[in-house]
Amino acid sequence: MKPVVELKDVHKRFGSNQVLKGVSFAIPKGEVVAIIGKSGSGKSTALRCIDRLEIIDSGTIHVCGHAVHDPGLDIRSLRKDVGIVFQSYNLFPHLTVEQNVTLALKAVKGQPTGQARVIAERTLRQVGLLEKAQAYPEQLSGGQQQRVAIARSLAMEPQVMLFDEVTSALDPQLTGEVLRVIEALAEGGMTMVLVTHEMDFAARLADTVIYMHEGRVWETGPGSMLQAPQTAELREFLSH
């Protein structure tokens, strides 16, 4: 079976700073991959390249049958298959929770309001926030706003979900709320890539953990590798 996400020898630089130095990995359908590493190791850049938020300098990226490295890529089509959630929730403050979720359904997928609202109801129930449908973002906690951001991505019915440090701005209780939603998605068979600092969560949930160091995939293995790292660099990272 072909991987749903595959990076081969991906290089990316910003000016004179080479951030990715030949990154390669593949993700089968239904797997959860956690990418860990120090700030500046290239993990968030790798994630952003998967969704074509950054354009790579060389190498290839294939996602859900899309050649992401191809200059002629249909980005609109890619974004229907790939959902991404950031640490900043990026909700529209003047729209209700329901309107935030239905906006892309109507604008990108061209769905009528009634149909979009049915999907919004389903995804808000999925993240435990149906009762907040008519609330505005400012009336929600950080954890609730992040769960709305997840619902907004889920509403597009993506094949792959990308999460970029989605809990780093949250306190431990709110972090737990968001991680429970991600755990439920994993149990439902969603293919996911998580850039995270939550080591216990990565060890428990991820089928594969990728440790990035200085722009390279340094060590990779099952979640249990965090209990028995093979390289000095990963041992040092985990000690902090």
HEC assignment per residue over 176-219: HHHHHHHHHHHHCCCEEEEECCCHHHHHHHCCEEEEEECCEEEE
Q: Which positions ≥6 away from 100 have C-beta within 8 Å?
A: 91, 92, 137, 148, 152
Q: For the chain, what's the residue count?
A: 240
pLDDT values of the chain reduced to their tens digit, one per residue, 240 residues: 789 999 999 999 999 999 999 999 999 999 999 999 999 999 999 999 999 999 999 999 999 999 999 999 999 899 889 999 988 888 999 999 999 999 988 988 889 999 999 999 999 999 999 999 999 999 999 999 999 999 999 999 999 999 999 888 788 888 888 899 999 999 999 999 999 998 999 999 999 999 999 999 999 999 999 999 999 999 999 998
What CATH number belongs to 5-239?
Answer: 3.40.50.300
Q: Could you read off the pLDDT of 113-162 as tens digits, one per residue?
A: 999 999 999 999 999 999 999 999 999 999 999 999 999 999 999 999 99
Strands 160-164 and 66-67: unpaired
Domain limits of the chain?
Answer: 5-239
